[in-house]
Amino acid sequence: MELTEINVRDPFILPYDGKYYLFGTRARTCWGKADGFDGYVSSDLKTWDGPFEVFHKPDDFWADKNYWAPEVHEYQGAFYMFATFNSEAKDMKGTMILKADTPLGPYRLHSEGKITPDEWNCLDGTFYVDKAGKPYMVFSHEWVDLQDGEICAVELSSDLKRAISTPRTLFKASMAKPWVSPIKHRLFEGPVYVTDGPFMHRLPDGSLIMLWASFSEGNYAEGIAHSDNGDITGNWTIDEMPLFDKDGGHGMLFKDYEGHLYLVLHQPNKTPEEHPVLIPLSEEGLCK
């Protein structure tokens, strides 16, 4: 398969052991009932084998809809999938952590329930390890709770089974003015601002940036936030212009085996037409 034939949202690419592993939200079940995640494998980023089901809903699992944004990170000799789930019964989405011995799984439930607070609507958890080796999850506290969506961070236990701190708000979506634009929704009378898909990346000079997605002039868009102390504990500011605003987003960064940096995101932001898109980048262009 080529990337144009892979119908997923929220793409994530893990380079490991000479190959590339692609994960994403199944577009055909994104907005309703869902039961699993798939993986794809490539040796050249052009042609891909798959899909291979890497997680399937256990019989007694609480979640039965909105299986979103699976990210896979290697950590302490295992592979951990951060993924968002929801249920018809409760309709309160949150991020959990799954674990496997290989990139293609099978992934098993690992965290003690949701990492995100049960009383919040949260999504798009991503993994970050600070300079001292402490693990964190960065996630979106969804606009349906707040009207102005937030990006938050919570410290994790060393085994990634639970949160061991209260969530800290890093920034709000409206802080991305002038480029961020609101949407309208029946839940609120005023403007709604969206935060999606955070992803952490350290630049060669040691500075820490975060990719995240929102809307700009009606198009799904990708922005960059910067920490002022090079770590998760810093104060975050957002670039005045988006990194990408051509109706694509929920992106992440990775380097190929030749050292070239890529942004991967889904485009267009329209079901069922979305697919992964690779965009070469320069790290110098990401510096503030």
Give the separation between CA 140 and CA 142, rounded to whole angstroms: 6
- At the second CATH level, the architecture of 3-286 is 5 Propeller (2.115)
pLDDT recorded at residue 270: 95
Give the separation between CA 120 and CA 145, rounded to whole angstroms: 7
Q: What's the CA dihedral at 224, 230, 232, 234 to 10 degrees? A: -90
pLDDT recorded at residue 211: 98
pLDDT recorded at residue 284: 84
Fill in the DSSP letter of residue 6: -
| SS3 of residue 28 by DSSP | helix
Sign (positive or negative) of CA dihedral 64, 215, 136, 163: negative
Residue with tokens 């889904």: 266
Nearest to 246 by CA among 271, 229, 221, 224: 221
Residue with tokens 């990337």: 3
Q: Residue ranges of the domains in the chain?
A: 3-286
Fill in the DSSP letter of residue 160: S
pLDDT recorded at residue 287: 77
- Whether pTM > 0.85 for this model: the answer is yes
Tokens of 136: 């964190």
pLDDT recorded at residue 197: 98
Could you list the pLDDT tens digit for every one of the 288 residues in the chain? 999 999 999 999 999 999 999 999 999 999 999 999 999 999 999 999 999 999 999 999 999 999 999 999 999 999 999 999 999 999 999 999 999 999 999 999 999 999 999 999 999 999 999 999 999 999 999 999 999 999 999 999 999 999 999 999 999 999 999 999 999 998 999 999 999 999 999 999 999 999 999 999 999 999 999 999 999 999 999 999 999 999 999 999 999 999 999 999 999 999 999 999 999 999 987 877
